[in-house]
Amino acid sequence: MSNGQSRFHVPAPPFRPGDAPDFSHLDLQKAGEAKRPDPLTAASKMTDLAFGLIGVLDHNHQAVGEWDPRLAPEMLREGLSHMVLTRIYDARMLKLQRQGKMSFYMKSLGEEAVAVAGAMALNFSDTVFPSYRQQGILFARGRNIVDMMCHCISNSRDNLKGRQLPVHYTWAEGNFFSISGNLGTQFPQAVGYAMACAYKGEDTITASWIGDGTTAAPDFHAAMTLASTYRAPVILNVVNNQWAISTYQGIAKGDAATFASKGLGYGLASLRVDGNDFLAVYAATKWAADRARKGGGATFIELFTYRADAHSTSDDPARYRPKNEFEVWPLGDPIERLKNHLIGLGEWDEDRHAKLEEQMTALVVKSYKEAESHGTLHDGPLSPTHTIFEDVYATEDWRLRRQRQDLGV
Amino acid sequence: MPAMNMLQALNSAMDVLLDKHPETVIFGEDSGYFGGVFGATQGLQKKYGLDRVFDAPINEAAIAAMAIGMAAKGLKPIAEIQFADYIFPAFDQIVSEMSRLRYRSAGQFVSPVVVRSPWGGGIRGGQTHSMSPEAFFTHVPGVKVVVPSNPYDAKGMLIAASEGDDPVIFFEPKRIYNGPFDGVPDAPLSSWARHPKGEVPEGHYRVELGKAEIVREGEACTVITYGTLVHVAVNAAEKAGIDAEIIDLKTLAPYDIETIVASVNKTGRVVVAHEAPRTSGFGAELAAQIQEECFYALEAPIFRLTGWDTPYPHAHEWAYFPGQARFIRALQTVTEAR
């Protein structure tokens, strides 16, 4: 606030290592309170949704309010299963990275609902343009786990021929676009792809995800402008997990009330959603998909969550934030919340949960053994060396031919 | 065959592409209703509709990214960047995304986009409407870079670029949109109607990318250039009475090494010429490659005739531009060297 004089201002997070984190200052709308307008409502008639918080699961783990998607228990169990698999897969891969089996890894701990519920609310034919922390989409779409691991350890069966860092998946058969690694570039590309779907008269849409930090990037503005101008059938998600490596969300957000509210200036339907609430993420995504398919254009969604672990295997979060922030995060753990909801419904219990975790652990361990049988980054076999010269162009020109011959491959 | 200037030829190419391929879409700043600031897309929106030819917001990154997304879904976008000087906001999308999508996805997704952009100087455009930024793009694996020098090639190469499978940066020498330029600033404008390459078929044809053309055969030296300077070179050789062999490179990435090597082995003397600044310009690549392949045939140092290592000036444009007088001096220097 102003004291009558301009001062140089650099924002800083409320808590650093050694501080006791306390999120009571967050004024979060309670689950069930947000209204659910018809998906074709004009963006200007529902601006409150950009400032509140769409939530379904309340503190008693009951599904409440207009946004409850009323999913059958089988769907809830499926979602839970994908989230549990995502978490177990991530944990295992991190361990393997620490053992030197792969160069790099990125977990999605605490954010599993974002990817899994989002993917389950879309059609399989909808093309997704994720960032590097939405591996849950692949599990929800049924990708072969061995194939995922073969990519991560860059072996002879890596479908990307060893060209990408681990977790930068591509899976065209699953309508999963190539993950760039350059932040935010996929956001406007998803809009162009969605425009092409509409141009071809298809019923398919696209969805993309970026992090809170990337909302500062020029491509964010490019995507929002294109999506609005051309009324593209796209869902643009910002995963506000509070941290961009060591930079807190305030460095990107500035004095905006919420990230979601940034969509309003573009005239986009803008929703702020509890990203740790499986049912809320599902319901909001479904709503946005309906809007897009029915010609209502794009929706901008802020998924409010918390990155519970490091950005990647290359940073130590204890050096820039309190260690126990996730434990006191007011929106809890997405897996625990859905699990407790299912238990409350009488559709799940601790024994079944323990058994699910066992099954998934066994699946991951078995899959890794199989993946490793196709080679590892350090011991090979890798994709043949001559493949580094392939796919630069549709056909090899004289420069690449000579250089390949120079290398003797 | 009708005579066309370069803009009419480019317009005709896009007309052919829009007519033949339903997946062709064209967009850029002012490219829709108005038909582009130079008029290259004039009349196309009216003929093919708002869905096929449309205006884009002033955001070159958005234009490139939209094109990438569309191409990944199977469309064939032709995106216009209003001036080559304005391409840099799209640089990341071109360098990190468009050029590498095929590679990083191991062929699962591709982005065969054509980026058209008016390029080069000689129009009193000052430092923001005169640049020749081709060397930034020839350094990028995965994109092709072309610079046609006449209406016939402009049409045939644009069709070949759009019907190809790779992204193409298509630079258009705007100084010669309306007629060839001999490098003498105050001379009256000549017309494409009096130039053999101003004869342009109405229908579909392709001029293959990656092939250079010897536009003047000669024995005394080899000149390798592209764009506006092709015409300056031909005129300078005639004026100086030097029997130069002049190669219109047309495609810079990948360039036609065979034509270059054959000519240099014959003449032993070389001028490489471009409007862009000298240091790390495309001429440096040509000179390096020529000395690797033709060292023992060379009889004189390779001469680089280029713009200066300065931003492109406004008032002193003709001191910057490698015009007729500088070209003649270059030809004399390489042919007289003993």
Question: How close is the nearest chain A Cα to the Cα of B65, in Å?
Answer: 5
Q: Are B142 and A392 inside 8 Å of each other by CB? A: yes
Among A73, A81, A29, which Cα is nearest to A55's?
Answer: A29
Does any domain span residue B203?
no
Residue A169's SS3 state is coil
Domains annotated for chain A, with CATH where assigned, are 43-378 (3.40.50.970), 385-409 (no CATH)
Can you give B215-284 as a three-state secondary structure string? EECCCCEEEEECCHHHHHHHHHHHHHCCCEEEEECCEEECCCHHHHHHHHHHHCCEEEEEEEECCCCHHH
Residues in B closer than 8 angstroms to A127, CB to CB, are 73
For residues B178 and B127, membership in a common domain is answered with: yes
> Residue A299: which H helix or E strand, with range?
strand A299-304
Could you tell me if A406 lies within 8 Å of chain B, comparing CB atoms?
Answer: no
* pLDDT above 90: residue B186: no
Could you tell me if A154 lies within 8 Å of chain B, comparing CB atoms?
Answer: no
Q: Are B181 and B123 in contact (CB under 8 A)?
A: no
Does any domain span residue B232?
yes
Q: Are A315 and A254 in contact (CB under 8 A)?
A: no
Which of B139, B170, B198 marks a domain boundary?
B198
Does any domain span residue B204?
no
Specify whether B129 is catalytic: yes
For residues B252 and B172, membership in a common domain is answered with: no
pLDDT, position B221: 98
Which of B198, B224, B249 marks a domain boundary?
B198
Could you tell me if B292 lies within 8 Å of chain A, comparing CB atoms?
Answer: no
Q: Are B109 and A178 inside 8 Å of each other by CB? A: yes
The tens digit of pLDDT for each residue in A13-32 reads 999 999 999 999 898 999 99
Question: How close is the nearest chain B Cα to the Cα of A187, in Å?
Answer: 9
Question: How close is the nearest chain A Cα to the Cα of B6, in Å?
Answer: 28
CA distance B221 to B268: 7
Mean pLDDT of chain A: 97
Domain count, chain B: 2
Structure tokens at B49: 């509709």
Q: Are A392 and B141 inside 8 Å of each other by CB? A: yes
Could you tell me if B49 lies within 8 Å of chain A, comparing CB atoms?
Answer: no
Q: Are A159 and B69 inside 8 Å of each other by CB? A: no
Q: Are B106 and A163 in contact (CB under 8 A)?
A: yes
For residues B307 and B186, membership in a common domain is answered with: no
List residues bridging with B271 in a β-sheet: B223, B303
Question: How close is the nearest chain B Cα to the Cα of A165, in Å?
Answer: 10
Structure tokens at A279: 């049912």
For residues B125 and B220, membership in a common domain is answered with: no
Helix axes B282-294, B257-267, angle to 10 degrees: 60
Does any domain span residue B169?
yes
Query: Residue B44: pLDDT band by 50, 70, 90 thresholds?
Result: very high
For residues B72 and B127, membership in a common domain is answered with: yes
Could you tell me if A391 lies within 8 Å of chain B, comparing CB atoms?
Answer: yes
pLDDT, position A27: 87
* pLDDT above 70: residue A1: no
Q: Are A393 and B166 inside 8 Å of each other by CB? A: yes
The tens digit of pLDDT for each residue in B241-274 reads 999 999 999 999 999 999 999 999 999 999 999 9
The tens digit of pLDDT for each residue in A297-347 reads 999 999 999 999 999 999 999 999 999 999 999 999 999 999 999 999 999
Interface contacts (A, B; CB < 8 Å): 132
Among B116, B80, B110, which Cα is nearest to B98's?
Answer: B110
For residues B186 and B238, membership in a common domain is answered with: no
> Residue A127: which H helix or E strand, with range?
strand A127-129
* B129, B195, B231, B274: the active-site residue: B129
List residues bridging with A376 in a β-sheet: A380
Residues in A closer than 8 angstroms to B59, CB to CB, are 218, 221-222, 225
* pLDDT above 70: residue A112: yes
For residues B260 and B114, membership in a common domain is answered with: no
The more confidently predicted of residues B172 and A103 is B172
Among B271, B275, B277, B329, which Cα is nearest to B308's?
Answer: B277
Structure tokens at B219: 């024995």
Residues near A328 by beta carbon (within 8 Å), at least 6 away in sequence: A21, A22, A23
Could you tell me if A177 lies within 8 Å of chain B, comparing CB atoms?
Answer: yes
Q: Are A192 and B65 inside 8 Å of each other by CB? A: yes
What residue numbers bound the domain in which B151 lies?
6-198
For residues B55 and B126, membership in a common domain is answered with: yes
Residues in B closer than 8 angstroms to A219, CB to CB, are 61, 65, 92-93
Does any domain span residue B1?
no
Which of B141, B164, B198 marks a domain boundary?
B198
Could you tell me if A106 lies within 8 Å of chain B, comparing CB atoms?
Answer: no
Question: B75-99 in b/e burial notation, b at 16+ Cβ within 10 A?
Answer: bbbbbbbbbbbbbebbbbbbbbbbb
Neighbours of A92 (CB within 10 A): 18
List residues bridging with B169 in a β-sheet: B115, B145
pTM for this model (two decimals):
0.97
Residue range A124-149: mean pLDDT, rounded: 98
For residues B194 and B287, membership in a common domain is answered with: no
Does any domain span residue B207?
no
For residues B186 and B217, membership in a common domain is answered with: no
The two beta strands, B168-173 and B244-248, are: unpaired
For residues B74 and B151, membership in a common domain is answered with: yes
Residues near A170 by beta carbon (within 8 Å), at least 6 away in sequence: A159, A160, A164, A176, A177, A178, A179, B104, B105, B106, B108, B109
> Of the candidates B96, B107, B254, which has its C-beta nearest A391's C-beta?
B107
Residue carrying structure tokens 């009558």: A4
Residues in B closer than 8 angstroms to A167, CB to CB, are none
Could you tell me if A196 lies within 8 Å of chain B, comparing CB atoms?
Answer: yes
Does any domain span residue B174?
yes
Residues in A closer than 8 angstroms to B210, CB to CB, are 397
For residues B160 and B247, membership in a common domain is answered with: no
ipTM of the complex as predicted: 0.97
For residue A185, give the chain B residue with the closest CA. B93
CATH code where residue B194 lies:
3.40.50.970
Q: Are A306 and A112 in contact (CB under 8 A)?
A: no
Q: Are A164 and B104 inside 8 Å of each other by CB? A: yes
The two beta strands, B24-28 and A299-304, are: unpaired
Residue range B269-281: mean pLDDT, rounded: 98
The tens digit of pLDDT for each residue in B125-183 reads 999 999 999 999 999 999 999 999 999 999 999 999 999 999 999 999 999 999 999 99
Q: Are B164 and A394 inside 8 Å of each other by CB? A: yes
Structure tokens at B315: 């008032």
Strands (E), A264-298: 269-274
Structure tokens at A194: 């969605």
Q: Are A199 and B61 inside 8 Å of each other by CB? A: no
pLDDT, position A3: 73
Does any domain span residue B208?
no
pLDDT, position A2: 66
For residue A393, give the chain B residue with the closest CA. B142
Q: Are B109 and A172 inside 8 Å of each other by CB? A: yes
Residues in B closer than 8 angstroms to A395, CB to CB, are 165
CA distance B272 to B331: 10
> Of the candidates A127, A195, A398, which has its C-beta nearest B254's C-beta?
A398
